[in-house]
Structure 1
Amino acid sequence: MRLVACLIVALAFFALLEKPIKRHATFFYIGTIIISILSIIAPDKGLPFIIEYLVNNILARGTLAGALFILVMVASVCPAAKLRGLLLRTRGEMAIIAALFTLIHNIVYGQYFFVKLFTNISELNTQRILAAIFSLVMILLLIPLTITSFMTVRRKMNPKKWKSLQKLSYVFYGLLFVHIAMIFSVSILNGYLETLFDLTVYAVIYIVYLVFRAKKYEKQRVVSIVCILAVCAIYAVLAVFGIKASRNHIEEEVAPVLEDASYKDGTYEGSATGYIGKMTVSVTIACGEITEINIVETGDDDEYLIDAKDVIPEIIEKQSLEVDSISGATHSSKGIIKAVGNALESAKGE
């Protein structure tokens, strides 16, 4: 739903501000760069909820940039004449703003995944390796596409050469879907079907776009059909295995720590499934009470763990696992809670 919301907001923004954007595009580019920089240097915690949500879930995760690229992609085949006109008139500015916002996504995630890709690839699973590789290829494609989208550059180019170069954008759009599918596949294959729903939105948009493209451009019909089949195949594979994982994903019922519960002193480990994979924690018991909880191993991203860790002091304070999961990091926080519960099973006295 985040993507749909971003599409609506982006359309409204460009519809209302079309003339100022066309006349003073440079100011909007500068504003985009400033927002990007502020988002990158913003603290992980302590911001107002709405600002934190926009930074982490809309900007850093690339949702807004993806929405803008989709609008640029569908511009030429949009069936609604007025909407098509708006998109065609503003797609150059949209593409540049989308590319600038993409900087946030690549800097936030690249400082970990790109570094690991070249220094310690063994720490990344297959999906993340592929997603990182696709990202690098997309960046290489995006650089010339963005530079030549500026009118000052475009006017100096031969029209035929410019059009030939812009055909690379179709490769970029295809890689964008594959990149998104690879990222989403990590949680889908762990049985989290809400992520499958997010992928469904992208898949439907791409399929509808390709259908309209096949109708409008007869010479490209075969290519469009092949792309439709590719999108359907990727989606079908992830859907089948995701649904299967969801059915096999038995929710572990964790008993709360009761006042009369008896736990042996010591340090115990427990594991459960987090957002992406296995979550292992160590729990220290002293005088029969939980005194310390540490995350030993996890495949979850830092952006989720930062918030998810907030359940740890709650568990220690309440001496109970009856704590609320953290909004925005639901699966990671649930993984911590369940892992602590499994560790406590080992700590139970006779």
Structure 2
Amino acid sequence: MLFIISLIIALFTAFILDKPLKKCPAAFYISAALLTAASIYVSQSDISITNRIVRDYVLGIFSRGALGAAFWAVVMWTGALPNGSAPIKKLMTIRGELSITAAFLTFSHIVTFGLQYVRNLINGRTGSGDAYRDFVVTCILSLLMTFIMVPLTVMSFKTVRKKMNAKTWKNIQRLAYLFYAMIYIHIMLLFVPKAQRGREGYFLSVLVYSAVFIGYAVLRFRKYYLSKKEKTSRLIPNTVCACAFIIPLCLSGIVSRNTNTKTRVTSTAPKAAVEASVSEQTQTATTAVTTSDGTKTTTAVRTSTTAVSTADKDTKTTEAAADEKAEEVTEAENTEEQPEEAQPEETQQTFKYKNGTFEGTGEGYNGKVHVSITIENDTITAFSASADDDDPDFFDDAKSTVIPQIKNSLSADGIDACSGATYSSKGIIEAAKNALEQALN
């Protein structure tokens, strides 16, 4: 969704604001630089933006690189459009200005996530196995793309371009093809695993990015082929290009499809079991007491039984408890002793929360936060938290700060958020409140 919104903004700039961009490009460069600086400042500070639309769809298009990628998409497609077409006539005159603006906007993403990667590297949070491999590859790709983008951007300024040999400038600019390919690979490395795990919106993002980048590659090769063979029939190259676009696009959809269905189904089973156990964990015992005047009274005493993890154990425990209580009732009814005073009613300690495991959800920085809290006699014995798409570094910091406070106070009220991980902290607190509300007696 972010990329689609960004594409609309980029196309509006290119087709509607083309004349102002051509006449006064410095205004666009300065605006892009200021927006980039502001987004970096907000993302790295403790400023709290409560409005989710502003946080995700305004700040997000800068920090997550969607707007920069959209401007690069317009720049690269300009080179793939047929010569003499109306769009290429309009866009070719401002292609350099668009690429410079794209570079300024991309720096927001480079700085924001570059700092995060550095922190992860210093703190040893690079993951293991496939996660470590993806971390290393992403770091290398990011560095290479930055090293390519910076000189190409500098050479896009007219004052620099005029001082260079035209042939040399053109040869160096061919590195842009490698840069575009790296952008697509970088995005797929990040998005495909999340799409496979069923993260909301990532499957669509994979398809949209694939359509844009694969479509560009196909049209670029078509344009090159037709420039070499101008008199050849276009039926065959058009057919080949259509297949070359559809097949990889379908493959990207197949590769990124949700493979987490089984995991999600099994993960809901414990929750159902817990809810069933909690609903059955209170039993009522009836005790007969004979008073001194010969009347018989019946007192209901509410006792708690501990939920058992398996259905068989729970059934056996309940049956055993029922038999035991039945024997107590029989003995009380058959007794012939008549005490002078009524036996005191059995007292039972009351707890604020039920025993069991309870789950809750909240809104993190960029997606849902899930917590699982296990309670035993008003003591939190287990507390786990996970996020759909929060930054691992910030989320770990938030967990280490927030979870101990909730465990100690047995409440999610008045909890201090982690400095620098405000949204992740609020997501954990909100999810914990949701879980604790379910646990209330």
TM-score normalised by the chain length of structure 1? 0.73
Partner of 1:54: 57
Alignment pair present for 1:112 and 2:128 = no
Matched, 1:98 2:102: yes
CA distance in 1, matches of 2:372, 2:428: 11
What residue number does 1:341 align with?
none
Structure-2 residue corresponding to 1:252: 268
Q: Kindly indicate whether residue 48 of structure 2 is the aligned counterpart of residue 45 of structure 1.
A: yes
Please give the alpha-carbon distance, in whole angstroms, between the structure 1 residues aligned to 2:249 and 2:35: 34
Structure with more helix by fraction: 1
Aligned length: 319
Give the C-alpha shift of residue 68 in structure 1.
0.4
Q: Indicate the residue corresponding to 2:154 in structure 1.
A: 147
- Tell me the residue number matched to 2:429: 313
Shift of 1:213: 1.8
Cα distance in 1 for partners of 2:258, 2:79 equals 36
Distance 2:245 2:125 in 1: 28
Paired residue secondary structure (2:201): helix
SS class of match (1:10): helix
Alignment of 1:307-346 (within 5 A): 307=423, 309-320=425-436
Distance in 2, Cα, partners of 1:15 & 1:237: 30
Q: Tell me whether 203-212 or 154-163 shows the greater mean CA deviation.
A: 203-212
Matched, 1:240 2:252: no
Write the mapping of 1:251-330 to structure 2, written as runs, cut at 5 A.
Answer: 252=268, 254-255=271-272, 283=373, 285=375, 287-288=377-378, 295=385, 300-301=390-391, 305=395, 307=423, 309-320=425-436
- Tell me the amino acid that sits aligned with residue 103 of structure 2: A
1:211-268 C-alpha deviation (Å, 9 max, x unpaired): 222221117999xx99x97996697367336443345542525358779967799x99
Change (3 A) 1:115 1:205: same
Partner of residue 323, structure 2: none
State the alpha-carbon separation in 1 of the partners of residues 248 and 167 from structure 2.
35
What is aligned with 2:326?
A: none
**1:201 Cα deviation (Å)?**
0.9
Cα distance in 2 for partners of 1:220, 1:194 equals 41
Query: Residue 153 of structure 1: CA displacement?
Result: 0.4
Per-residue CA deviation, residues 288-338 of structure 1 (Å, 9 max, x unaligned), is 37699564999841599554543443454455577xxxxxxxxxxxxxxxx
SS of the equivalent of 1:38 reads: helix
Distance between the aligned counterparts of 1:232 and 1:118, measured in 2? 42
Q: Which residue of 1 aligns with 2:319?
A: none
Q: Which has the larger radius of gyration?
A: 2
Q: Distance in 1 between matches of 2:98 and 2:23?
A: 14
Name 2:26's counterpart in structure 1: 26
Deviates more, 1:88-97 or 1:189-198: 189-198
Q: Which moved more, 1:136-145 or 1:210-219?
A: 210-219
In 1, Cα distance between the equivalents of 2:121 and 2:253?
Answer: 24
For 1:172, give the aligned amino acid.
F
Taking the aligned partners of 2:93 and 2:12, their CA distance within structure 1 comes to 14
Give 1:202-241 correspondences, 5 Å limit.
202-218=209-225, 236=251, 239-240=254-255
Q: Tell me the distance in 2 between the aligned counterparts of 1:307 and 1:297.
A: 11
Distance 1:281 1:243 in 2: 22
Confirm or deny that 1:70 pairs with 2:85: no
1:241–1:87 Cα change, 3 Å: closer
Amino acid at match of 2:61: I
Report how far residue 38 of structure 1 moved: 0.8
Matched AA of 2:204: F
Cα 1:47/1:33, change in 2 over 3 Å: farther
Q: Distance in 2 between matches of 1:92 and 1:177?
A: 21
Q: Distance in 2 between matches of 1:110 and 1:268?
A: 42
Higher alpha-carbon deviation: 287-296 or 206-215: 287-296
